[in-house]
Amino acid sequence: MGNLKGKIVFITGASAGIGQATARAFAREGARLLLAARRLERLENMKPELLEAGADAIYTLALDVRNREQVEQQIRSLPEEWQPIDVLINNAGLSRGLDKVYEAKVEDWEEMIDTNVKGMLYVTRAVVPGMVARGRGHIVNLGSTAGEMTYPGGSVYCGTKAAERAINDGLRQDLLGTPVRVTSIDPGMVETEFSEVRFHGDKERAAKVYQGLTPLTPADVADAIVWAVSRPAHVNIARVLMTSIDQANSLLFHRKA
C-alpha cells in the first residue's frame, strides 16, 4: 500500500488502548479514519487531536461487533465516500476473568467468544467482499501471545486468540490470487484498559499485572501495524509476534523485585 495518505482505515475498538493508538498512528500518515466502538462519545472526543495530528477526515460509528445485524447495517449504510475501505483493523476485543475453566462464569466465556471471534468474523464478512471487488485492501487482525501458548485461567481467552490465528491464516489462503493482504499482529502484554476490563473494573488487581516489568505500550503495537500495512503491495506480512524485553512468552516474565 505504501503511501497511506487519504486511505480509508477502519479500526474497531478505537476508543481505547491499541485501537486508539492505531488511530493516532494512521492520523500521522494522513489517512481517513473510520473509527468504531460502543463508546461513541470517546471517539468524538478524539477527533480534534486526530485532525491536529494529520488525519485527512474522520467518521465515527457506534458499533457493538457482537451484533451481526448492526455490523451489517452500519457498514452497508456508510456514506458513499466512506464505503471503499482500504484497511480493516479488527482490534475490538477483551478478556473476562482469570478463572479455572471448570469454575469460570459462562457469561464471561460468551462475551469473549462473541466479541473476539464472532465479532471479528462479522466485520470481516461485511467488509472484505468490497475489498475483493475493488481489487485492493488489507486486513489486520489482533492476535496475541495468548494464541500461541495457553496460560492457567486463560483457557477461553487464549482459545479465542488461537481461533483468531486460524481464521487469519485461513483468510489469507482464501484470498490467495487477489491483491488483498492479511496480517495478524500478536503482542504480549500491553498496558491498556485490558486488565481492568478482564477483572471487571478492579483497578488494583489490574495494576498488579504490570508491576515490576516494562510492558509494551499501545503505540509500540500501532507502530507494528502501520509498518505491516505500509510494506510494498506485493509483500504480505503474515504475522508479527512481539513482546516487551521483559516477556519471553505467555508464562515467562522478568519482574524486578
Query: What positions carry a catalytic annotation?
Result: 157
Residues making up the chain, counted from first to last:
257
CB of 217 to ligand 8X3, least distance (A): 14
The 3-state DSSP class for residue 116 equals helix
- Residue 130 neighbours by CB distance under 10 Å: 15
CB of 165 to ligand 8X3, least distance (A): 12
CB of 253 to ligand 8X3, least distance (A): 10
250 binds, among ligand 8X3, ligand NDP, none (CB under 5 to 8 A by kind): ligand 8X3
Nine-digit cell string for 95: 478478556
Q: Does residue 168 touch ligand 8X3 according to CB under 6 A?
A: no
Q: Does residue 184 touch ligand 8X3 according to CB under 6 A?
A: no
Among 20, 90, 141, 144, binds ligand 8X3 (CB under 6 A): 144
CB of 124 to ligand NDP, least distance (A): 14
Residue 11 and residue 33 in contact, taking contact as beta carbons nearer than 8 Å = yes
d(CA 178, CA 174): 9
Scanning 13-21, 53-61, 127-135, 144-152 for contacts with ligand 8X3 by CB under 6 A, the matching segment is 144-152
Residue 145 DSSP code: G
Among 44, 110, 193, 220, binds ligand NDP (CB under 6 A): 193
d(CA 45, CA 47): 6
Residue 15 and residue 93 in contact, taking contact as beta carbons nearer than 8 Å = no
Among 60, 145, 168, 192, binds ligand 8X3 (CB under 6 A): 145
Q: Does residue 60 touch ligand 8X3 according to CB under 6 A?
A: no
CA 181-183-184 angle, to 5 degrees, is 160
d(CA 2, CA 11): 18
d(CA 182, CA 199): 31
Q: Which residues of this protein are in contact with ligand 8X3, per CB under 6 A?
A: 144-146, 154, 157, 188-189, 250
Q: Which residues of this protein are in contact with ligand NDP, per CB under 6 A?
A: 12-19, 37-39, 63-66, 91-94, 115, 119, 142, 144, 187, 189-190, 192-194, 197
